[in-house]
Amino acid sequence: MRATDNGVPIDQILCGDNLELIQQLPDRSIQLVITSPPYFQQRNYGSGMGNEKNVNAYIDILLCLFRECVRVLADDGNIVFNIGDKYQNSNLLLVPYRFALAAMDTGGVRLVNEITWVKKNPTPRQFSRRLVSSTEPFFHFAKSDRYFYNPKAFLAKTHAPQPRKKKNGTTVGQKYFQLIDKSDLSDAEKTLARTELTQVIQEAKSGKIHSFRMKIRGIHAAPFGGQEGGRTSQLRNKGFTIIRIHGNKLKRDVIKTDDLIETSDVIETPVATLKGNKHPAIYPVEVVEEFLHLLTPTGAVVLDPFIGSGSTAVACKKLGRHYIGYDINAEYCEDARQRVLQTPGVSQQHLFEI
Ligand SMILES: C[S@@+](CC[C@H](N)C(=O)[O-])C[C@H]1O[C@@H](n2cnc3c(N)ncnc32)[C@H](O)[C@@H]1O
């Protein structure tokens, strides 16, 4: 059996109650916990969590596990919990937010982001008096401020910077010349403003920068708050400020999935490898992969205490991370092991960079 240097068995899916199994893990032995607990009173998995008699009891039992996740997490580690919501008596319970607030109250973690998973294929139910839910939150917690973070790798495929286009238009930035003329800047300030404006227009036309904005004293409002202090003093002392925009795509807190399954009992599965899989609530491997890119280096040890059909383990194997998965249902565990076996991995040498 494979194990880390400190004796933690890795690349395995264990069958049992996660609250008991996690006790076997030493403190600070895991780089990332990523998981999707059973949603509150949504499905009957036979046993385990999810069917507590009220939402408070559900949050309480999840928190017991969450505390253990924090204990086993390395000081620079991350935790990602995906939780779905629930209607009770026509009332949306806001279960994910109840959990997130309670998790923060445990101390020991900070909530870094709520990342919204936008499902382009939500469960196609029609309600006459409410809209179809098509998003779910993934809460990203960290144990300290020095959590591992690699934003360059996150959504690298879809958010790659676009090639800069040359702008040949003769109108680029011309409106600012008129505003300079109209302004109450001194003659010397106006001359400098025109010179710098001509220069930045050239940069935009040649493609060196994506675009720019100019702010002129007395015409535009000064930036609000302390963050743009440099610009505020430029406006005051020089009469204008120019903001160059370099065209790097923003890393937004949204992950969109197109044709990925999330509930194979409702949506006909378009993914061949999951044909015949009995698990009713599978999250997309691609979403897990994004978090692995963002929050772990190659060779990291990743724990999913509710492994279900094995999506987390599949993503880990594909990207050269080690996994530990728990599930209370023996059949799911066996199916997940088979699914991982059928997944091509990266080279063994890569995998052992712990
Ligand atoms: C929402 S599903 C996880 C699905 C998984 N993310 C996937 O992509 O397939 C939750 C899983 O937690 C398991 N489970 C419930 N209570 C558990 C417990 N106490 N210990 C371990 N597993 C449990 C259920 O059997 C179920 O497979």
Domain boundary residue, one of 202, 226, 245: 245
Residues 77, 65: Cα–Cα separation, whole Å: 16
- Residue at 168 is within a domain: no
- Residue at 3 is within a domain: no
Rg (alpha carbons) of the chain, rounded to whole number: 26
Compute the distance from residue 324 Cα to the ligand 1 centre, in Å.
Answer: 13
The residue whose CA has the least distance to atom 3 of ligand 1 is 308
Same domain flag for 108 and 226: no
pLDDT-based confidence at 270, cuts 50/70/90? very low
Same domain flag for 126 and 257: yes
* Nearest of 250, 29, 294, 10 to residue 147 by alpha carbon: 294
CB 114 within 8 A of CB 139: yes
Residues 45, 330: Cα–Cα separation, whole Å: 11
Compute the distance from residue 130 Cα to the ligand 1 centre, in Å.
Answer: 29
- Residue at 85 is within a domain: yes
Residue 255 CB neighbour total at 10 angstroms: 20
Same domain flag for 339 and 207: no
Lowest mean pLDDT among 81-90, 268-277, 324-333: 268-277
Compute the distance from residue 23 Cα to the ligand 1 centre, in Å.
Answer: 18
Same domain flag for 185 and 306: no
Which ligand 1 atom sits nearest the alpha carbon of residue 39? Answer: 1
Same domain flag for 318 and 334: yes
Question: Residue type for 70, please?
Answer: V
Same domain flag for 262 and 200: no
The residue whose CA has the least distance to atom 22 of ligand 1 is 327
Same domain flag for 91 and 235: no
pLDDT (0 to 100) of residue 345:
84
Same domain flag for 84 and 178: no
- Residue at 4 is within a domain: no
The average pLDDT across 206-214 equals: 90
Which ligand 1 atom sits nearest the alpha carbon of residue 308? Answer: 27
The more confidently predicted of residues 225 and 19 is 19
Give how many domains the chain has, as a whole number. Answer: 2
Residues 232, 213: Cα–Cα separation, whole Å: 14
CB 343 within 8 A of CB 289: no
pLDDT-based confidence at 47, cuts 50/70/90? confident
For 249, the token pair is 């795509």
pLDDT (0 to 100) of residue 35:
98
Same domain flag for 135 and 62: yes
Residues 42, 93: Cα–Cα separation, whole Å: 13
Distances (CA, A) of 250 to 135, 155, 156: 20, 10, 11
Residues 95, 97: Cα–Cα separation, whole Å: 5
Domain boundary residue, one of 191, 211, 245: 245
Name residues contacting ligand 1 (CB within 6 A): 17-18, 36, 38, 45, 48-50, 279, 281-283, 306, 308-309, 311, 326-329, 332
Compute the distance from residue 242 Cα to the ligand 1 centre, in Å.
Answer: 53
pLDDT (0 to 100) of residue 350:
52
The residue whose CA has the least distance to atom 26 of ligand 1 is 308
Full domain range(s) for residue 26:
12-158+251-351
Which residues make Cβ contacts (< 8 Å) with residue 83, sequence separation at least 6? Answer: 36, 37, 39, 95, 96, 99, 136, 137, 139
Same domain flag for 143 and 212: no
Same domain flag for 47 and 127: yes
CB 325 within 8 A of CB 35: no
pLDDT-based confidence at 265, cuts 50/70/90? very low
Which ligand 1 atom sits nearest the alpha carbon of residue 36? Answer: 6
- Residue at 221 is within a domain: yes
27-46 pLDDT tens trace: 999 999 999 999 999 888 87
pLDDT (0 to 100) of residue 120:
75
- Residue at 46 is within a domain: yes
230 CA to centre of own chain:
31
Report the percentage of the chain scoring pLDDT > 90.
Answer: 63
CATH of the domain at 78: 3.40.50.150
pLDDT (0 to 100) of residue 159:
44
pLDDT-based confidence at 5, cuts 50/70/90? confident
- Residue at 7 is within a domain: no
Domain boundary residue, one of 215, 245, 275: 245
Question: Residue type for 284, please?
Answer: P
Compute the distance from residue 34 Cα to the ligand 1 centre, in Å.
Answer: 12
Which ligand 1 atom sits nearest the alpha carbon of residue 46? Answer: 25
Compute the distance from residue 84 Cα to the ligand 1 centre, in Å.
Answer: 13
Same domain flag for 46 and 140: yes
- Residue at 192 is within a domain: yes
CB 36 within 8 A of CB 281: yes
